[in-house]
């Protein structure tokens, strides 16, 4: 008989949980480096933003879950005083917004719509169906999240399954892309319940998928054309008369069925199309509902994290930070806590021309820590650089960390300043997964670079396919400060060769 691993933690029932002394508020410490500015929204309007898109340096389009599109001028002013005007209404839960040649492209549940203002009165007049090559059957779960234009002029949409377990409409559980001539191309299978889509700094398309069947943890995954993202519920469309020709024409073949109860990295060796998550967001340490993502393209206006990704978490009302590297042609990397304390459930993130990060939130249908039904906020770098892990790279025998400031070499060179454990999740058809196969590798040595800006950790046994959870409680900056977030979670699908 198997022991239930999840129950091991339950025995110490009577232990007090509230420490007598409370930690100082993390959000107050974070605010010293990144401050939150709340924008006024149109009076008496529930502005549950589903997607944002900048139309000019200081002009923002904001589409809502109710289906309206509002445009504001003056969103970057301080104190903020945006002037709002309704551009369109009555659309079907817009969760993607892009712009090209003066037109807005809104991803609704059932289609992507090109909206143009023909008479220049500030309101959309022509609503032309741009791409509607997927199905929709009336289930609330069938969301569609739309991207910005990629470098070839395509718009991508990730299409949520019909429920948690089924694909009852065409391409549900798939990613499709709409070409500039309006063709819908099936692109990836295996999607479950996406909550955001966007490109990294290289222009590769990524999306977040939420914990559930065949998804042991919330994850960030690369949408490489032809890839299978892990959940086979939508495999039926490979053989369906309505779709099989289009799928074959896109060069896609039905992957082998994954085996429930296995591990993702094992199955990925057997199923070449299977794309393991670039990042697993440990549940619930990092969050419980990973959402929108955006690459820092500000060239330093947002602080020291140029080219890194910022990812929302709806449930925790946070924004997380992600560093990616490519190992053996696969993206992988680390996620770090970045900023908490947003007013509602962070659903999307978007950079403005001044390098501030817009975060929009809603908690309708899914509760969030923030507590407000909706919020539109800006995260502004104060100009002060926090002491943070900058990058975390995998090495054949460990990790290399870089820091945003020089470290105290003595503390950083001491393996006792770090704690490390690894685990993975079960790749299974039932909902979610506990953390399993835990290991505690030993940090055998740490070498600090002469400039104090990096540390090389040698580890006795890296665990392939595992999240490596690293804490750095003993690391101090040269000035003696602890790290603002002494935590990193590296998803090690590939161990780099020597």
Write down the least CB distance from residue 45 to another protein, Å.
12
> 102 burial class (0-12, 13-18, 19+ CB within 10 angstroms)?
exposed
The site string for another protein over 436-475 (x = CB under 8 A, - otherwise) reads: ----------------------------------------
Residues in contact with another protein, counted by CB under 8 A, come to a total of: 72
Q: Which span sits near another protein by CB under 8 A: 89-97, 220-228, 390-398, 479-487?
A: 89-97
273 is an interface residue for another protein by CB under 8 A: no
> 156 burial class (0-12, 13-18, 19+ CB within 10 angstroms)?
buried
Alpha-carbon distance values, 148 to 152, 278, 313, 347 (Å): 11, 21, 20, 16
Closer to another protein by Cβ: residue 5 or 40: 5
238 is an interface residue for another protein by CB under 8 A: no
Write down the least CB distance from residue 331 to another protein, Å.
28
The site string for another protein over 10-49 (x = CB under 8 A, - otherwise) reads: xx-xx--xxx--xx-x--------------------x---
Phi, psi of 167 (to 5 degrees): -125, 95
Angle, CA 319 vertex, CA 339 and CA 205 arms, to 5°: 145
Q: Pick out residues in 353-412 that bind another protein (CB under 8 A).
A: 363-373
Q: Which of 317, 377, 454, 491 touches another protein by CB under 8 A?
A: 317
Closer to another protein by Cβ: residue 166 or 402: 166
Specify whether the CB–CB gap between 128 and 105 falls below 8 A: no
Q: Which span sits near another protein by CB under 8 A: 54-62, 128-136, 172-180, 442-450?
A: 128-136
262 is an interface residue for another protein by CB under 8 A: no
66 is an interface residue for another protein by CB under 8 A: yes
> Secondary structure of 151-163 in the HEC alphabet?
CCCCEEEEECCCC
Specify whether the CB–CB gap between 347 and 47 falls below 8 A: no
Interatomic CA distance for residues 61 and 75, integer angstroms = 10
Q: Which of 63, 75, 104, 136 touches another protein by CB under 8 A?
A: 136
Closer to another protein by Cβ: residue 182 or 304: 182
> 132 burial class (0-12, 13-18, 19+ CB within 10 angstroms)?
middle
**Number of neighbours of residue 149 by Cβ within 10 angstroms:** 16
203 is an interface residue for another protein by CB under 8 A: no
Q: Which span sits near another protein by CB under 8 A: 118-126, 346-354, 396-404, 446-454?
A: 118-126
Q: Which tokens sit at 337?
A: 């806590």
149 is an interface residue for another protein by CB under 8 A: no
Closer to another protein by Cβ: residue 130 or 207: 130
Q: Which span sits near another protein by CB under 8 A: 75-83, 109-117, 388-396, 464-472?
A: 109-117
Closer to another protein by Cβ: residue 156 or 235: 235
Phi, psi of 185 (to 5 degrees): -110, 120
Write down the least CB distance from residue 118 to another protein, Å.
8
54 is an interface residue for another protein by CB under 8 A: no
Closer to another protein by Cβ: residue 298 or 428: 428
The site string for another protein over 204-233 (x = CB under 8 A, - otherwise) reads: --------x---------------------
Interatomic CA distance for residues 400 and 390, integer angstroms = 10
> Which of 27, 35, 131, 43 lies closest to 84, judged by CA?
43
Interatomic CA distance for residues 278 and 71, integer angstroms = 35
Closer to another protein by Cβ: residue 10 or 498: 10
Specify whether the CB–CB gap between 334 and 457 falls below 8 A: no
């Amino acid at each position: 008989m198997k022991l239930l691993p999840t129950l091991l933690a339950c025995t110490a029932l009577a232990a007090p949980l509230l420490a007598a002394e409370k930690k100082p508020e993390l959000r107050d410490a974070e605010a010293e480096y990144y401050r939150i500015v709340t924008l006024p929204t149109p009076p008496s309007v529930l502005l549950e933003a589903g997607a944002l898109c900048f139309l000019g340096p200081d002009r923002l389009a904001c589409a809502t879950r109710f289906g309206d599109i509002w445009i504001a001028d003056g969103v970057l002013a301080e104190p903020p005083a945006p002037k709002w005007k309704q551009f369109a209404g009555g659309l079907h839960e817009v969760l993607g917004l892009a712009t090209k040649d003066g037109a807005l492209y809104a991803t609704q549940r059932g289609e992507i719509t090109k909206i143009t203002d023909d008479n220049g009165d500030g309101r959309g007049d022509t609503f032309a169906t741009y791409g509607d090559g997927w199905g929709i059957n009336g289930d609330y779960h069938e969301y569609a999240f739309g991207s910005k234009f990629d470098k070839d002029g395509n718009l991508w949409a990730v299409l949520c399954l019909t429920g948690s377990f089924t694909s009852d409409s065409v391409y549900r559980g798939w990613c499709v892309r709409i070409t500039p001539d309006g063709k819908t191309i099936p692109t990836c299978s295996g999607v479950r319940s996406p909550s955001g889509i966007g490109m990294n700094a290289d222009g590769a398309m990524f999306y977040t998928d939420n914990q559930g069947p065949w998804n042991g943890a919330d994850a960030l995954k690369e949408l490489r054309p032809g890839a299978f993202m892990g959940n086979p519920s939508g495999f039926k469309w490979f053989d369906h008369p309505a779709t099989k020709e289009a799928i074959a024409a896109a060069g896609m073949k039905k992957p082998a069925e994954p085996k429930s109860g296995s591990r993702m990295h094992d199955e990925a060796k057997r199923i070449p199309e299977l794309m393991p998550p670039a990042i697993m967001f440990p549940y619930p340490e990092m969050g419980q509902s990973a959402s929108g993502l955006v690459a820092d393209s500000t060239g330093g206006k947002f602080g020291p994290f140029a080219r890194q990704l910022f990812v929302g978490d709806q449930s925790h009302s946070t924004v997380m930070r992600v560093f990616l590297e490519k190992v053996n042609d696969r993206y992988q990397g680390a996620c770090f806590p970045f900023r908490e304390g947003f007013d509602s459930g962070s659903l999307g993130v978007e950079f403005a021309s001044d390098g501030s990060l817009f975060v929009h939130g809603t908690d309708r249908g899914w509760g969030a820590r923030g507590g407000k039904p909706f919020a539109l906020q800006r995260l502004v770098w104060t100009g002060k650089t926090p002491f943070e892990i900058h990058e975390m790279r995998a090495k054949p025998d460990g990790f290399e960390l870089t820091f945003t400031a020089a470290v105290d070499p003595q503390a950083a060179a001491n393996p006792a300043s770090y704690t490390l454990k690894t685990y993975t999740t079960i790749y299974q058809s039932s909902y979610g997964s506990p953390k399993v196969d835990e290991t505690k590798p030993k940090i055998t040595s740490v070498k600090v670079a002469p400039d104090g800006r990096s540390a090389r950790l040698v580890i006795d046994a890296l665990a392939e396919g595992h999240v490596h959870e690293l804490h750095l409680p003993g690391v101090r900056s040269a000035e003696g400060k602890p790290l603002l977030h002494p935590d990193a979670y590296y998803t090690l699908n590939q161990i780099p060769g020597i």
